[in-house]
Chain A
Amino acid sequence: MASQQHRVGDTPWIRRTLIASALILTMLMLVIPLVVIFAQALSSGWATFAENIGNEYTLHAIGLTLFVAALTVPLNLVFGTSLAWLVTRFRFPGRKLLITLIDIPFAVSPVVAGLLYLLLYGRNGWVGSWLTEYDIQLMFSWPGIVMVTVFVTCPFVARELIPLMQQQGTEEEEAGVVLGASGWRIFRRITLPNIKWALIYGVVLTNARAVGEFGAVSVVSGNIRGQTNTLPLHVELLYQDYNIVGAFASASLLAAIAILTLVAKAFVEWRQSRPEHPAPEKGGV
């Protein structure tokens, strides 16, 4: 619309340049690498790909990764929901501080987090040395991997829920309790339906991160093939072994999970933005 007044700098020439550069950058930085992963993984044909995925160690890494995610997601689901409930439904000294502390895992480099866990829970660590007496080993085995993964991913659910629950307030829950509903009934019938989509969103993000976490896990896992090797660690090991096709085959699995995550995320965002109960139906029952 030539007759319309342009905003400052909004000439067709600048607009085209901006759009073009954004597109080129997206292609170079995001799309091409993704395509390359699948291209490399399949470079020696489907048979080799299947063979690489079917490899004993790769299968174990897939299993361990899914196992860790399967433990991490429910743990953080409960943790995140309780935490969000606590800081949005109660007033107590230190509440603001607690909200800030939730972000520590985002602020701290995962490698540092891994090292801290190693220091605390390792064989010679403060807690670890005491546990060793009872013959409990956390580090360099799957419990350690789960612990650091839980740490790294614990903010996702809480961060999604806190703003939403703050905005929704407590009136509906108060109405529920006045009507005689038990705490569980209020949570299930009133709170949960209100936070459902934010919760799913948080779970999707938690899962993506739990599957893909490298730094913290690599510190505490010990990289024992067939025992403590998760999929991201396995990719690196294969690559160092000059098994490029194998590395990319495993990487393509992670990439596939990432794409699924994006689809799930887009769907949840779409559901969240949609009004739950649109326009009144025509005239009653």
Chain B
Amino acid sequence: MSITIDQISKNFDGFQALDEVSLDIPEGKLTALLGPSGSGKTTLLRIIAGLESSDGGRILFGDEDVSQLHVRDRNIGFVFQHYALFKHLTVAENIAFGLESLPRKQRPSKTEIQRRVDELLDMIQLPDVAKRYPTQLSGGQKQRVALARALATRPRILLLDEPFGALDAKVRKDLRRWLRALHDEFHFTSVFVTHDQEEALELSDQVVVMSQGQVEQVNEPASLYARPESRFVFDFLGQVNTLSGAVRGQKLSQADAWVSLPGIQAEGEAQLYLRPHEVQLDRSPASHAKLPLRIESISLIGSEVRIELTPEGWQSNEIWEVGMSHSEFARQNPARGERWYAIPDVGHLFLAGANHPRSVNWQYPSGISASNQ
């Protein structure tokens, strides 16, 4: 069942939580609503569920307008951040709750409910906890039970509000993988809210980036990371290195630092955004860029060596970060306090006033693209 969000607005005591948000959520896909706190993602999820009313706009499930339909009748599954298990009911009673709440005519028989509960307990790989109470379970187990409870009535749509937010890193990773596998098996339409970029990119088929009550960008994870459409998405999705300066004669410069911009005709203030993996380090400047930096710290843990640097002879609001392979690190042997030069391969230029970036590619000069996204 696909979901259509049509110009949904919500105002809380003068705070515009959602501002005419429109969005299509495809059937059978796992969609992430990603954004910082206060971006309206949870409010949007609660409006889809019917737990919150919108001030304007419509919600459609498939072709059916459900805006006026009570939560109770929307037939959705909802998973809460803090599990919200019924603490006075056993795990089995929790899972059976939705089935037992069905109107008498639709309600399955006792044995049928029992069978379904056992089936779900198998699905969440916790066949032995049926008689336990929620307080006797670990966080990860609780969230699995919450998921089983949400799926018991075979909802059309599964909504998850920061489902892994309250769990520790290890459990979170396991559960994430498990949810992905479960989704690949059953293909329910699901929407989950998260503020964790990694989680959104790893888990979902489609990511909706939100900020200040509006949708910034909707894309598949790979495209989203490779082609952010706005400064916000750039800043929000992972580490980014910036050079702010003035463009004159196809060159962006600030004090001692400059980068050539082949093919860029515009002039004026601009910012260049560079991902850590789009930059290399060398002991001398290149012909197309001179970005002197001093190494502040070197982190060896992980698949890549992470080097943090500060500008020398120019300014940047944030520390620069560059990744280097371990073999490259062994060959070059950079040390803290040394001066190095950043050599950009690919960059994203924001001209003053423009909200969309233009790509610059130095690595393959023939393929220089100044695409106007």
- Mark A residues whose CB is within 8 Å of B: 171-172, 174-182, 185, 189-190, 193-194, 275-277, 279-281, 283-285
Contacts and interface: CB of A to CB of B under 8 A. Distances in A.
A176 B136 contact: no
Contacts, number: 84
A190 B149 CA distance: 15
A175 B85 CA distance: 8
Nearest to A179: B98
Contacts of B352: none
Contacts of A280: 132, 136
A281 B132 contact: yes
A283 B146 CA distance: 21
18 contacts: A171-B80, A171-B84, A174-B80, A175-B84, A176-B86, A176-B97, A177-B72, A178-B77, A178-B150, A189-B86, A189-B89, A190-B86, A276-B133, A276-B135, A277-B132, A280-B132, A285-B130, A285-B131
B86 A172 contact: yes
Interface string B141-160: 00000100110010000000
A4 to B, nearest CB: 36
A249 B294 CA distance: 93
Contact of B101 (A172, A182, A285): A182
For chain B, what secondary structure do more than half of its interface residues adopt (helix, strand, loop), or is it mixed? loop
Contacts of A180: 72-73, 75, 98, 101-102, 153
A193 B131 CA distance: 18
A178 B51 CA distance: 8
A181 B97 contact: yes
Given A171-B84, A276-B87, A179 B149 contact: yes
A180 B89 CA distance: 17
B47 to A, nearest CB: 13
A179 B158 CA distance: 12
Contacts of A275: 135
Interface residues of B, number: 33
* Interface-centre pick from A175, A181, A189 (highest chain B CB count, 10 A): A175
A276 B130 CA distance: 17
A17 B146 CA distance: 56
Interface string B75-95: 111101010111111000000
B88 A178 contact: no
Tell which of A180, A181, A283, A285 has the most Cβ of chain B within 10 Å: A180
B88 A194 contact: yes
Contact of A175 (B72, B80, B132, B153): B80
B48 to A, nearest CB: 11
Interface in B94-113: 97-98, 101-102
Contact of A172 (B71, B73, B78, B87): B87
A182 B101 CA distance: 8
B252 interface: no
5 closest residue pairs by CB, A with B = A284-B128, A277-B133, A179-B98, A193-B88, A171-B84
B87 A194 contact: yes
Given A189-B86, A277-B136, A280-B136, 16 more contacts: A172-B87, A174-B51, A175-B78, A175-B80, A175-B146, A176-B97, A180-B72, A180-B73, A180-B98, A182-B101, A193-B88, A276-B133, A280-B132, A281-B131, A284-B128, A285-B128
Nearest to A283: B128
A275 B101 CA distance: 28
A219 to B, nearest CB: 44
Given A174-B51, A179-B98, A185-B101, A284 B129 contact: yes
Contacts of B131: 281, 284-285
Contacts of B150: 178-179
B49 interface: yes
A201 to B, nearest CB: 17
Nearest to B49: A178
A281 B131 CA distance: 9
Interface string B242-266: 0000000000000000000000000
Nearest to A194: B88
- Which of B82, B84, B129 gathers most chain A CB within 10 Å? B84
A159 to B, nearest CB: 23
Contact of A179 (B88, B101, B128, B133): B101
Given A285-B128, A285-B130, A178 B71 contact: yes
A189 B88 CA distance: 8
Contacts of B153: 179-180
A280 B138 CA distance: 11
Nearest to B149: A179
B140 to A, nearest CB: 15
A179 to B, nearest CB: 4
Nearest to A175: B84
A285 B133 CA distance: 12
A189 B97 CA distance: 10
Contacts of A281: 131-132, 136
A280 B78 CA distance: 27
Contacts of A179: 97-98, 101, 149-150, 153
A174 B149 CA distance: 13
B59 to A, nearest CB: 15
A181 B135 contact: no
Given A181-B97, A182-B101, A172 B132 contact: no
B51 A276 contact: no
A177 B80 CA distance: 13
A189 B71 CA distance: 18
Nearest to B74: A178
B159 to A, nearest CB: 9
Interface in B214-264: none
Contacts of A172: 84-87
